[in-house]
Amino acid sequence: MTDDGLPPLREVINSFGLAAKKSLGQNFLTDLNLTGKIARSAGDLSNSVIYEVGPGPGALTRALLMNGAYRVVAVEMDERCIEAQKQIQAAYPGRLEVIHGDAMQVDERELIGDPGDKDIRIVANLPYNVGTALLIKWLTAENWLPWYKSLTLMFQKEVGDRIVAQPGSKAYGRLSVLAQYRAEARKLFDVPARAFVPPPKVTSCIVQITPHEEKPDTPNQKVLERVVSAAFGQRRKMLRASLKSLGVDPLPKLEAAGIKETARAEELSVEDFCRLARHYES
Protein backbone atom coordinates (compact mmCIF):
# COMPACT_ATOMS: atom_id res chain seq x y z
CA MET A 1 0.00 0.00 0.00
CA THR A 2 1.04 3.60 -0.48
CA ASP A 3 0.48 6.76 1.60
CA ASP A 4 -3.10 7.07 0.37
CA GLY A 5 -3.96 3.47 1.23
CA LEU A 6 -4.38 2.55 -2.44
CA PRO A 7 -2.30 -0.05 -4.29
CA PRO A 8 0.99 1.00 -5.93
CA LEU A 9 0.56 2.21 -9.49
CA ARG A 10 2.39 -0.74 -11.04
CA GLU A 11 -0.10 -3.03 -9.32
CA VAL A 12 -3.03 -0.96 -10.62
CA ILE A 13 -1.60 -1.12 -14.14
CA ASN A 14 -1.21 -4.90 -13.91
CA SER A 15 -4.48 -5.71 -12.22
CA PHE A 16 -6.54 -3.65 -14.68
CA GLY A 17 -4.51 -4.93 -17.65
CA LEU A 18 -3.52 -1.42 -18.69
CA ALA A 19 -1.05 -2.36 -21.41
CA ALA A 20 -0.13 1.04 -22.84
CA LYS A 21 -1.79 2.00 -26.12
CA LYS A 22 0.43 4.06 -28.35
CA SER A 23 -2.58 5.42 -30.24
CA LEU A 24 -3.72 7.09 -26.99
CA GLY A 25 -0.29 8.50 -26.13
CA GLN A 26 -0.14 6.35 -23.01
CA ASN A 27 3.04 6.67 -20.95
CA PHE A 28 2.05 6.23 -17.33
CA LEU A 29 3.70 7.71 -14.26
CA THR A 30 4.15 5.39 -11.30
CA ASP A 31 6.02 7.46 -8.72
CA LEU A 32 3.72 9.31 -6.32
CA ASN A 33 6.66 11.43 -5.10
CA LEU A 34 7.08 12.79 -8.61
CA THR A 35 3.35 13.35 -9.17
CA GLY A 36 3.23 14.97 -5.71
CA LYS A 37 5.88 17.43 -6.88
CA ILE A 38 3.84 18.19 -10.02
CA ALA A 39 0.65 18.62 -7.97
CA ARG A 40 2.29 20.98 -5.48
CA SER A 41 3.79 23.08 -8.29
CA ALA A 42 0.27 23.76 -9.60
CA GLY A 43 -0.61 26.30 -6.89
CA ASP A 44 -3.20 26.41 -4.14
CA LEU A 45 -5.04 23.12 -4.67
CA SER A 46 -7.36 23.43 -1.69
CA ASN A 47 -8.89 26.48 -3.30
CA SER A 48 -9.12 24.91 -6.73
CA VAL A 49 -11.20 22.66 -8.88
CA ILE A 50 -8.67 20.77 -10.99
CA TYR A 51 -9.42 19.76 -14.55
CA GLU A 52 -7.26 16.80 -15.57
CA VAL A 53 -7.01 15.32 -19.04
CA GLY A 54 -6.14 11.63 -19.26
CA PRO A 55 -5.98 10.46 -15.63
CA GLY A 56 -4.97 6.97 -16.81
CA PRO A 57 -4.21 4.65 -13.88
CA GLY A 58 -4.26 7.71 -11.63
CA ALA A 59 -0.75 8.64 -10.45
CA LEU A 60 -1.35 12.36 -10.91
CA THR A 61 -5.02 12.23 -9.89
CA ARG A 62 -4.08 10.61 -6.60
CA ALA A 63 -1.34 13.15 -5.94
CA LEU A 64 -3.73 16.02 -6.62
CA LEU A 65 -6.26 14.62 -4.16
CA MET A 66 -3.64 13.68 -1.57
CA ASN A 67 -2.27 17.22 -1.77
CA GLY A 68 -5.66 18.67 -1.00
CA ALA A 69 -7.38 19.44 -4.33
CA TYR A 70 -10.89 20.57 -3.49
CA ARG A 71 -12.32 18.61 -6.42
CA VAL A 72 -10.90 16.93 -9.54
CA VAL A 73 -12.81 16.63 -12.80
CA ALA A 74 -11.07 14.33 -15.27
CA VAL A 75 -11.73 13.33 -18.88
CA GLU A 76 -10.37 10.01 -20.07
CA MET A 77 -10.78 8.36 -23.44
CA ASP A 78 -9.75 4.83 -22.42
CA GLU A 79 -12.57 2.93 -20.69
CA ARG A 80 -10.09 0.58 -18.99
CA CYS A 81 -8.64 3.52 -17.07
CA ILE A 82 -12.09 4.68 -15.97
CA GLU A 83 -12.51 1.31 -14.20
CA ALA A 84 -9.17 1.85 -12.43
CA GLN A 85 -10.26 5.31 -11.35
CA LYS A 86 -13.21 3.87 -9.38
CA GLN A 87 -10.83 2.84 -6.58
CA ILE A 88 -9.67 6.44 -6.28
CA GLN A 89 -13.23 7.73 -6.27
CA ALA A 90 -14.02 5.40 -3.38
CA ALA A 91 -10.99 6.62 -1.42
CA TYR A 92 -11.94 10.30 -1.91
CA PRO A 93 -15.75 10.33 -1.78
CA GLY A 94 -17.35 13.18 -3.69
CA ARG A 95 -14.06 14.73 -4.79
CA LEU A 96 -13.39 13.01 -8.12
CA GLU A 97 -15.50 12.87 -11.26
CA VAL A 98 -14.21 10.94 -14.26
CA ILE A 99 -15.89 11.44 -17.59
CA HIS A 100 -15.44 9.12 -20.55
CA GLY A 101 -14.72 11.32 -23.54
CA ASP A 102 -12.34 13.04 -25.90
CA ALA A 103 -10.75 16.11 -24.33
CA MET A 104 -10.54 17.73 -27.76
CA GLN A 105 -14.32 17.63 -28.09
CA VAL A 106 -15.64 18.35 -24.61
CA ASP A 107 -16.86 21.68 -23.30
CA GLU A 108 -14.82 21.89 -20.12
CA ARG A 109 -16.94 24.61 -18.55
CA GLU A 110 -20.05 22.49 -18.94
CA LEU A 111 -18.34 19.46 -17.37
CA ILE A 112 -16.98 21.41 -14.43
CA GLY A 113 -20.12 23.44 -13.82
CA ASP A 114 -20.10 26.33 -11.37
CA PRO A 115 -16.86 26.21 -9.35
CA GLY A 116 -18.40 28.45 -6.70
CA ASP A 117 -15.70 30.48 -4.96
CA LYS A 118 -12.95 28.15 -6.24
CA ASP A 119 -10.44 28.70 -9.06
CA ILE A 120 -10.20 26.26 -11.91
CA ARG A 121 -6.70 24.99 -12.72
CA ILE A 122 -5.74 22.58 -15.47
CA VAL A 123 -3.15 20.00 -14.46
CA ALA A 124 -2.29 17.11 -16.76
CA ASN A 125 0.29 14.72 -18.09
CA LEU A 126 -0.94 15.19 -21.63
CA PRO A 127 -1.08 12.48 -24.28
CA TYR A 128 1.75 13.52 -26.60
CA ASN A 129 -0.36 13.02 -29.73
CA VAL A 130 -2.92 15.71 -28.83
CA GLY A 131 -0.92 17.74 -26.28
CA THR A 132 -0.18 20.70 -28.53
CA ALA A 133 -3.71 20.76 -29.96
CA LEU A 134 -5.17 20.84 -26.43
CA LEU A 135 -2.83 23.63 -25.42
CA ILE A 136 -3.92 25.67 -28.43
CA LYS A 137 -7.57 24.97 -27.57
CA TRP A 138 -6.99 26.45 -24.09
CA LEU A 139 -4.77 29.34 -25.22
CA THR A 140 -7.34 30.46 -27.75
CA ALA A 141 -10.18 30.56 -25.21
CA GLU A 142 -12.80 33.03 -26.32
CA ASN A 143 -12.79 35.19 -23.20
CA TRP A 144 -9.65 36.51 -21.56
CA LEU A 145 -8.94 36.23 -18.71
CA PRO A 146 -9.94 32.65 -19.51
CA TRP A 147 -11.99 30.24 -17.39
CA TYR A 148 -8.86 28.69 -15.87
CA LYS A 149 -6.37 30.32 -13.52
CA SER A 150 -3.33 28.33 -14.64
CA LEU A 151 -2.12 25.43 -16.76
CA THR A 152 0.45 23.02 -15.31
CA LEU A 153 1.20 20.54 -18.05
CA MET A 154 3.60 17.79 -19.00
CA PHE A 155 4.92 17.89 -22.54
CA GLN A 156 7.73 16.31 -24.46
CA LYS A 157 10.74 18.53 -23.73
CA GLU A 158 10.94 19.72 -27.33
CA VAL A 159 7.35 21.04 -27.13
CA GLY A 160 8.03 22.63 -23.73
CA ASP A 161 11.07 24.37 -25.23
CA ARG A 162 8.91 25.77 -28.03
CA ILE A 163 6.33 27.11 -25.57
CA VAL A 164 8.82 29.09 -23.47
CA ALA A 165 11.30 29.93 -26.26
CA GLN A 166 12.71 33.43 -26.63
CA PRO A 167 13.47 35.28 -29.88
CA GLY A 168 16.63 34.26 -31.69
CA SER A 169 16.34 30.60 -30.81
CA LYS A 170 15.44 27.74 -33.12
CA ALA A 171 12.55 26.72 -30.87
CA TYR A 172 10.93 30.18 -31.07
CA GLY A 173 7.80 30.11 -33.19
CA ARG A 174 4.04 30.31 -33.37
CA LEU A 175 3.51 28.36 -30.14
CA SER A 176 5.89 30.64 -28.21
CA VAL A 177 4.06 33.80 -29.28
CA LEU A 178 0.63 32.29 -28.68
CA ALA A 179 1.63 31.14 -25.19
CA GLN A 180 3.40 34.35 -24.18
CA TYR A 181 1.48 37.29 -25.61
CA ARG A 182 -1.09 37.40 -22.79
CA ALA A 183 0.24 34.83 -20.33
CA GLU A 184 3.43 34.00 -18.53
CA ALA A 185 4.98 30.70 -19.64
CA ARG A 186 7.68 29.02 -17.54
CA LYS A 187 9.38 25.68 -17.62
CA LEU A 188 9.39 24.21 -14.11
CA PHE A 189 11.45 21.00 -14.35
CA ASP A 190 12.38 18.09 -16.60
CA VAL A 191 11.04 14.58 -16.11
CA PRO A 192 13.29 11.76 -17.35
CA ALA A 193 11.95 9.05 -19.67
CA ARG A 194 12.57 6.39 -17.03
CA ALA A 195 9.80 7.89 -14.87
CA PHE A 196 7.20 6.48 -17.26
CA VAL A 197 5.81 3.04 -18.08
CA PRO A 198 6.61 2.43 -20.87
CA PRO A 199 9.47 4.95 -21.11
CA PRO A 200 9.06 7.31 -24.09
CA LYS A 201 12.03 7.99 -26.38
CA VAL A 202 12.49 11.55 -25.14
CA THR A 203 12.72 13.57 -21.95
CA SER A 204 9.56 15.37 -20.80
CA CYS A 205 9.08 18.59 -18.88
CA ILE A 206 6.51 20.46 -16.83
CA VAL A 207 5.42 23.83 -18.12
CA GLN A 208 3.30 26.35 -16.29
CA ILE A 209 1.25 28.96 -18.06
CA THR A 210 -0.45 31.72 -16.09
CA PRO A 211 -2.76 34.02 -18.03
CA HIS A 212 -2.54 37.73 -17.32
CA GLU A 213 -4.92 40.56 -18.14
CA GLU A 214 -4.93 41.80 -21.69
CA LYS A 215 -3.41 45.24 -22.08
CA PRO A 216 -5.23 47.97 -23.99
CA ASP A 217 -2.89 47.34 -26.93
CA THR A 218 -3.14 43.54 -26.93
CA PRO A 219 -3.98 42.60 -30.53
CA ASN A 220 -6.95 40.58 -31.68
CA GLN A 221 -5.94 36.95 -31.30
CA LYS A 222 -7.05 35.85 -34.76
CA VAL A 223 -5.16 38.66 -36.45
CA LEU A 224 -2.06 37.94 -34.38
CA GLU A 225 -2.29 34.27 -35.29
CA ARG A 226 -2.51 35.07 -39.00
CA VAL A 227 0.52 37.36 -38.85
CA VAL A 228 2.57 34.93 -36.78
CA SER A 229 1.63 31.96 -39.00
CA ALA A 230 2.59 33.86 -42.14
CA ALA A 231 5.89 35.02 -40.62
CA PHE A 232 6.94 31.61 -39.29
CA GLY A 233 5.41 29.73 -42.24
CA GLN A 234 8.46 30.86 -44.19
CA ARG A 235 10.80 31.55 -41.30
CA ARG A 236 13.97 31.78 -43.38
CA LYS A 237 12.53 34.55 -45.53
CA MET A 238 12.62 38.22 -44.66
CA LEU A 239 9.32 39.57 -43.37
CA ARG A 240 8.85 41.75 -46.46
CA ALA A 241 8.51 38.47 -48.40
CA SER A 242 6.90 36.08 -45.91
CA LEU A 243 4.12 38.50 -44.93
CA LYS A 244 3.00 38.91 -48.55
CA SER A 245 0.90 35.77 -48.07
CA LEU A 246 -1.46 37.92 -45.97
CA GLY A 247 -2.63 39.58 -49.17
CA VAL A 248 -1.63 43.19 -48.46
CA ASP A 249 1.64 45.02 -49.03
CA PRO A 250 3.67 44.33 -45.87
CA LEU A 251 6.02 47.30 -46.23
CA PRO A 252 3.73 50.04 -44.81
CA LYS A 253 2.67 47.74 -41.96
CA LEU A 254 6.28 46.93 -41.05
CA GLU A 255 7.27 50.55 -41.23
CA ALA A 256 4.33 51.67 -39.08
CA ALA A 257 5.26 49.07 -36.48
CA GLY A 258 8.91 50.19 -36.55
CA ILE A 259 10.16 46.81 -37.73
CA LYS A 260 12.88 46.39 -40.35
CA GLU A 261 11.53 44.90 -43.57
CA THR A 262 14.64 42.72 -43.79
CA ALA A 263 14.06 41.15 -40.36
CA ARG A 264 13.12 37.48 -40.11
CA ALA A 265 10.35 36.07 -37.92
CA GLU A 266 12.60 34.69 -35.23
CA GLU A 267 14.18 38.10 -34.59
CA LEU A 268 10.88 39.68 -33.51
CA SER A 269 9.96 39.76 -29.85
CA VAL A 270 6.44 38.89 -28.73
CA GLU A 271 5.85 42.64 -28.27
CA ASP A 272 7.01 43.30 -31.86
CA PHE A 273 4.50 40.74 -33.13
CA CYS A 274 1.75 42.34 -31.06
CA ARG A 275 2.56 45.80 -32.42
CA LEU A 276 2.68 44.49 -35.98
CA ALA A 277 -0.62 42.63 -35.58
CA ARG A 278 -2.28 45.84 -34.38
CA HIS A 279 -1.39 47.41 -37.71
CA TYR A 280 -3.00 44.50 -39.53
CA GLU A 281 -6.23 45.04 -37.60
CA SER A 282 -6.98 48.23 -39.46
> Could you list the residues that contact ligand SAM (CB under 6 A)?
24-29, 53-57, 59-60, 75-78, 81, 102-104, 125, 127, 130
> Which residue is nearest to ligand SAM, using beta carbons?
54
In the bound complex, what is the minimum distance in angstroms from residue 5's beta carbon to ligand SAM? 19
In the bound complex, what is the minimum distance in angstroms from residue 75's beta carbon to ligand SAM? 5
Report whether 76 belongs to an annotated binding site: yes
Report whether 60 belongs to an annotated binding site: no
In the bound complex, what is the minimum distance in angstroms from residue 245's beta carbon to ligand SAM? 32
In the bound complex, what is the minimum distance in angstroms from residue 99's beta carbon to ligand SAM? 9
Looking at the Cβ atoms of 26 and 150, the one nearer to ligand SAM is 26
Looking at the Cβ atoms of 131 and 219, the one nearer to ligand SAM is 131
Report whether 14 belongs to an annotated binding site: no
Looking at the Cβ atoms of 98 and 268, the one nearer to ligand SAM is 98
Q: Are strands 150-156 and 183-191 parallel, antiparallel or unpaired?
A: unpaired
Looking at the Cβ atoms of 29 and 274, the one nearer to ligand SAM is 29
Report whether 6 belongs to an annotated binding site: no
Report whether 125 belongs to an annotated binding site: yes
Can you say which residues are annotated as belonging to the binding site for S-adenosyl-L-methionine? 27, 29, 54, 76, 102, 125
